């Protein structure tokens, strides 16, 4: 029998495509009659395909559900993160939504307002487990007092540092952003940078700037402020000194991991996603994790996804059953370490005793997420921040001009 993970990875998003695939397999003798009668629900996600270190654990998780629920099949579709929201909105317009969408937590409010997501308030009240969730993550599911998602996992950003390089230089992880500038400069030698961080176009590339603004006590929707200009100025200085490669403006977080793994950077700002990946891919690399630098605050940027049921679901009851399964503490205790994520709820047993994950858990206690109007416009706002970062670092605009333009763009977006 054909492996179900292979089928889920290669099916299209529409029911017609899925049916055609099953008919084709049946004609070749590769499908069994039980597949035709199975109850099917669909789930879209942007973690990755079954062979990837970020996608594989999710497919394994779904496999466990199917094994415990005979007669239920879950079709999982992987859509790259850059295309996910657009694809979901196009599916809504075409009446071809999945049952479940695993979406970025910060997009939940916007998708709810766009009519893509079902109100889960009554289900959550009957379920009675809302109080188990961390406040910052749970807040991302709320729109006008209604619940439109369930936090799936949580993640935080911290500093990964090369312990061998630090020991050789007699240095300790930076405690403030002034320390970061000094330490990164000392650890850059022309062949390597002191720090790596993603600065790529779009939301992902704004993370470092957001973290720096939060450390200064700034508001993320106020780039033309002391905190905003200070953050832009520091990234410009780090790049000009060679402590941060100008190439960071084209790097994804995976690229940042590669720079660090190849000893091309002594430090990186990245999420807990890469703890196990580094251990598996670079077993000889000597590294550890430290909390982010603090000036006024030691805040991290919450990285999280929410499980949602769409307004196009053909079987919302079965979809909710899968969500409940995926949020059982004992199931999460097995899934989270494999996924390199942290629990979004406070009753998940720690089965790893992993010091690196413990640092991320400590950092997660000081996590920031956009709220209210900023939550529905966060994608636009973060994109404007990245544009300001790119303009200032590349020299296309002064820090003051970049901050001013970003503020104008942010204000216009929030006013709409």
194 and 69 part of one domain: no
Q: Are residues 11 and 131 in the same domain?
A: yes
* pTM score: 0.80
**Does 268 share its domain with 318?**
no
Number of neighbours of residue 405 by Cβ within 10 angstroms = 17
Ramachandran angles phi, psi of 354, nearest 5° = -100, 115
304: left (phi over 0), alpha (psi -120 to 50) or beta: beta
Question: For 137-146, b where at least 16 C-beta lie within 10 A, e where not — what string?
Answer: bbbbbbbeee
Final residue in a domain of this structure, among 358, 376, 397: 358
Q: Which of 246, 244, 270, 239 is nearest to 257 (CA)?
A: 270
The whole-angstrom distance between residue 179's C-alpha and the CA centroid of its chain comes to 27
Residues 20 and 163 in one domain: no
Which CATH number goes with the domain that contains 341?
Answer: 3.40.190.10
Residues 202 and 312 in one domain: no
Of 358, 383, 404, which marks where a domain is finished?
358
Q: What pLDDT does residue 356 have?
A: 92
Separation CA 251–CA 247 (nearest Å): 7
Do 265 and 124 share a structural domain? Answer: no
Rounded CA-CA distance 309/307 in Å is 7
What's the CA gap between 402 and 389, in Å, rounded? 8
* Statement to judge: residues 104 and 188 lie in one domain: no
Residues 279 and 351 occupy one common structural domain: no
CA–CA distance, 357 with 166 (Å, rounded to integer): 21
Token output for 351 = 């089965």
Q: Residue 29: what pLDDT?
A: 43
* Residues 283 and 316 grouped into a single domain: no
Per-residue pLDDT of the chain (416 residues; tens, 9 = 90+): 334 333 333 333 333 333 233 333 333 444 444 445 579 999 999 999 999 988 999 999 999 999 999 999 999 999 998 899 999 999 999 999 999 999 999 899 999 999 999 999 999 999 999 999 999 899 999 999 999 999 999 999 999 999 999 999 999 999 999 999 999 999 999 889 999 999 999 889 999 999 999 999 999 999 999 999 999 999 999 999 999 999 999 999 999 999 999 999 999 999 998 998 899 999 999 999 999 999 988 899 888 999 999 999 999 999 999 999 999 999 999 999 888 899 999 999 876 788 998 999 899 988 998 888 888 888 899 999 999 999 999 999 999 999 999 999 999 999 98
Domain residue limits at 146: 4-155+304-358
184-201: b (≥16 Cβ within 10 Å) or e: bbbbbeeebbbbbbbbbe
Looking at residue 176, the DSSP 8-state letter turns out to be S
Shared domain for 291 and 316, answered yes or no, is: no
Q: Which of 231, 364, 245, 356 is nearest to 295 (CA)?
A: 231
C-alpha–C-alpha distance, residues 391 and 141, integer Å = 33
Nearest to 261 by CA among 242, 285, 277, 239: 285
Q: Residue 37's pLDDT is what?
A: 58
Whether 306 contacts 108, CB under 8 Å: yes
- Name the domain boundary from 340, 358, 376: 358
- Structural domain count of the chain: 2
Task: Look at the block and give the residue holding tokens 């960071």.
Answer: 248
Selection from 337, 367, 358 nearest residue 133 by Cα: 367
Please give the Cα distance from 325 to 61 (Å, whole number). 10
- Per the listing, tokens 């009668």 go with 37
Residue 137 sits in the same domain as residue 265? no
* pLDDT at res. 248: 97
Q: Does 249 share its domain with 268?
A: yes
CA distance 360 to 340: 10
């Amino acid at each position: 029998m054909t492996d179900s993970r292979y089928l889920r990875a290669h099916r299209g998003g529409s029911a017609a495509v899925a049916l055609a695939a099953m008919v084709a397999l049946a004609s070749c003798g590769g499908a069994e009659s039980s597949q035709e009668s199975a109850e099917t629900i669909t789930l879209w996600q942007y973690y990755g395909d079954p062979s990837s270190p970020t996608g594989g654990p999710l497919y394994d998780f779904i496999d466990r559900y199917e094994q415990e629920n005979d007669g239920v099949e879950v079709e999982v579709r992987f859509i790259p993160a850059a295309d996910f929201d657009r694809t979901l909105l196009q599916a809504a317009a075409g009446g071809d939504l999945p049952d479940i969408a695993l979406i970025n937590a910060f997009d939940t409010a916007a998708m709810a307002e766009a009519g893509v997501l079902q109100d889960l308030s009554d289900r959550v009240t009957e379920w009675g487990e809302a109080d188990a969730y961390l406040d910052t993550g749970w807040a991302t599911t709320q729109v006008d007092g209604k619940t439109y998602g369930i936090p799936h996992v949580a993640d935080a950003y911290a500093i990964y540092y090369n312990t061998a390089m630090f020991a050789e230089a007699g240095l300790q992880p930076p405690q403030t952003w002034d320390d970061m500038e000094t330490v990164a400069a000392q650890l850059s030698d022309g062949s390597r940078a002191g720090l790596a961080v993603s600065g790529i176009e779009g939301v992902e590339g704004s993370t470092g700037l957001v973290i720096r603004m939060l450390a200064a006590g700034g508001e993320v929707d106020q780039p033309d402020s002391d905190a905003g200009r200070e953050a832009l100025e520091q990234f410009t200085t780090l790049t000009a000194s060679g402590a941060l490669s100008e190439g960071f403006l084209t790097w994804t977080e995976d690229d940042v991991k590669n720079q660090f793994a190849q000893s091309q950077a002594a430090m990186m700002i990245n999420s807990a996603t890469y703890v196990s990946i580094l251990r598996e891919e670079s077993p000889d690399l000597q590294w550890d994790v430290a909390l982010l630098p603090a000036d006024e605050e030691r805040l991290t940027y919450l990285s999280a996804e929410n499980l949602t049921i769409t307004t196009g679901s053909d079987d919302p009851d079965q979809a909710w059953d899968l969500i409940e399964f995926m949020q059982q503490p004992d199931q999460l205790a097995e899934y989270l370490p494999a996924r390199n994520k942290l629990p979004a709820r406070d009753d998940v047993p720690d089965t790893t005793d992993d010091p690196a994950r413990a640092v991320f858990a400590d950092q997660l206690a000081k996590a920031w997420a956009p709220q209210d109007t900023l939550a529905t416009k966060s994608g636009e706002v973060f994109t404007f921040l990245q544009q300001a970062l790119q303009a200032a670092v590349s020299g296309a605009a002064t820090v003051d001009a970049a901050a001013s333009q970003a503020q104008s763009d942010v204000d216009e977006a929030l006013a709409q």
